[in-house]
Structure 1
Amino acid sequence: MTNELKKFNKLVTLEEALHYIQDGCTLMYGGFGGVGNPPTLINGIIEKDRKELILIGNDAGFPKIGIGKVVSQGRAKRLIASHIGSNPVAGQLMVEGKLDVEFSPQGTLAERIRAGGVGLAGILTDIGIGSMVEEGKEKVELNGKTYLIETALTADVAIIHAKKSDYFGNLIYDTSARNTNPLVAMAGKITIAEVEEIVPLGSLSPEEIVTPGVFVDLIVESKGVDWRWAWE
């Protein structure tokens, strides 16, 4: 790699990346049911004994898969997610008052993350009107209809998983592992991408790239995925 290209190299060690994830930080993660969670980063968080985390993501994973390991070990104090049903430990922690859970309908959650990523303060939605979802939230009238104001979501650090990347962080995802990762990539003050295969600059076709490297701050090489046996 020439000196000119080195300035576009965002590849760092796992140790360097984990420096940005500290106790009490707000951590947003991509994926769905563990698929698309970044396993190497998550294992690193556990090994570094990070705790008191505020987590934002689609779900609580499985007890021993993906972000579920962080939740099940009591390392999160708050979770914003669309559901936690796949991780019974999360439900138990919530009932015991050890985990504060904010439920957000899946589409609303995705839009709140997207809004945060593009710099909006929030979104308007009629989902939840007349239910417990509206408790404590502002309402507005627009064109004769009532909407809830749902605040945008951002994070101190966003962690995502991709199948392939160049050294600048242009990302390609693996089928359904793409779930929520492109949105999460935009919403972190620092975005760390865990990547299975890293290729030279210019190797990727522009038509392949889903997340442009401008949204990615750091890249770490993945040591393998753990979601393929999620159903065992």
Structure 2
Amino acid sequence: MKQIVTSFDEAIQGIEDGMTIMVGGFGLVGIPENLIQALARKGSKHLTVISNNCGVDDWGLGILLKNHQIDRIIASYVGENKEFERQVLAGEIEVELTPQGTLAERIRAGGAGIPAFYSPAGVGTPIADGKEVRSFGGKDYLLETALVADVSLIRAAVGDTMGNLRYHKTARNFNPMMAAAARMTIAEVETLVEAGELAPDDIHTPGIYVQMLIVGQQEKRIEKRTIARI
């Protein structure tokens, strides 16, 4: 059995100042909401965050951003957060923007133990500045390094006591690859079942990648609500 805790504050006690953390989710979908809020309460600072985006101004990683807990972020999209824009323009935060597919592959490579790979994305753009360029089959590629973290905070719909996880539809997004790319993975799950209750074909993340589980209910906020008159 994996370590199963009942307090979100207890779950993130090992996250110290200066650590690198990966945070699952895409926009506000599939984010570990309660773990993020607990980390905000703990107040760990000088964090390097690897995530697809930085949440919105008052939710998700936007909470840590507002608290000035993040020194550096590696992300592919940051367009929904005004405070993020302000900190970037003010030189208060370091940003490494990465094409979304490249970001996903850098994380996957980190989990697979592959130190680097070549990608065509970004050739001939500022993304290529300072990176090695090689030609394969007459086409140029950039050398991209893998990403790993001290801790990954991820979210799943269902987990079992052995740490196996199943995600709900698009909430899968970055969560599975991040689970494999950190020394310590903490999974926030909506439902916890006994080992054996998840069918093998329904398991998206094997328990070998998960060290700690906690059950929590999420608000599941929507970034932009569009209402159509019928």
TM-score by length of 1: 0.92
2-structure distance, mates of 1:50, 1:231: 30
Which among 34, 43, 48 is matched to residue 42 of structure 2?
Answer: 48
| Distance of aligned partners of 1:68 and 1:227 in 2 relative to their CA distance in 1, 3 Å threshold | farther
SS state of the match for residue 106, structure 2?
helix
Among 191, 194, 216, which residue is 1:197 paired with? Answer: 191
Matches of 2:53 and 2:9, distance apart in 1:
26
Q: Aligned with 1:11: secondary structure?
A: strand
Q: Match for 1:217 among 200, 206, 211?
A: 211
In structure 1, the residue matched to 2:164 is: 170
Match of 2:159, SS state, is strand
Distance 1:178 1:79 in 2: 21
Which residue number corresponds to residue 97 of structure 2? Answer: 103
Alignment of structure 1 residues 120-139 onto 2, 5 Å = 120-139=114-133
In 2, distance between residues paired with 1:112 and 1:49?
28
How far apart, in 1, do the equivalents of 2:185 and 2:106 lie?
A: 17
- What is the DSSP-based 3-state SS (H/G/I as helix, E as strand, rest coil) of the residue aligned with 1:184? helix
Q: 2:16 matched to which residue of 1?
A: 22
Q: Is the CA contact (8 Å cut-off) linking 2:9 and 2:42 kept in structure 1?
A: no
**Percent identity of the aligned residues?**
42
Q: Which moved more, 1:143-152 or 1:201-210?
A: 143-152
Q: Secondary structure at the match of 1:165?
A: strand
Q: Which amino acid aligns with 1:124?
A: Y
Counterpart pick for 2:84 among 64, 82, 90: 90
Shift of 1:147: 1.2
- The residue aligned with 2:27 is 33
The residue correspondences of 1:106-121 to structure 2 (distance < 5 A) are: 106-121=100-115
8 Å CA contact 1:65–1:227 kept in 2: the answer is: no
Unaligned runs of 5+ in 1: 1-7
Q: Whole-Å Cα distance in 2 between the matches of residues 182 and 116 of structure 1?
A: 12
Query: Aligned equivalents of 1:46 and 1:95: distance in 2?
Result: 23
1:229 Cα deviation (Å)?
4.2
Q: For 1:225 and 1:66, how far apart are their aligned partners in 2? A: 11
The equivalent of 1:76 in structure 2 is: 70
- Counterpart residue number, 1:5: none
Would the aligned equivalents of 1:35 and 1:66 in 2 still touch at CA under 8 Å?
no
Counterpart for residue 181 of structure 1: 175
Aligned structure 1 segments of 4 or more residues deviating by more than 4 angstroms: none
In 2, distance between residues paired with 1:161 and 1:70? 17
Whole-Å separation in 2 of the counterparts to 1:197 and 1:87: 30
Q: Deviations over 1:13-60 (max 9, x none)?
A: 434321221111001011001211101110100111111110001011
Equivalents in 2 of 1:212, 1:136: separation in Å? 37
How has the CA–CA distance of structure 1 residues 176 and 146 changed in structure 2, closer, same or farther, with 3 Å as cutoff? same
8 Å Cα contact 1:34-1:67 kept in structure 2: no
Deviation at 1:97, TM superposition (A): 0.4
Partner of 1:10: 3
Separation in structure 1 between the aligned mates of residue 106 and residue 167 of structure 2, nearest angstrom: 22
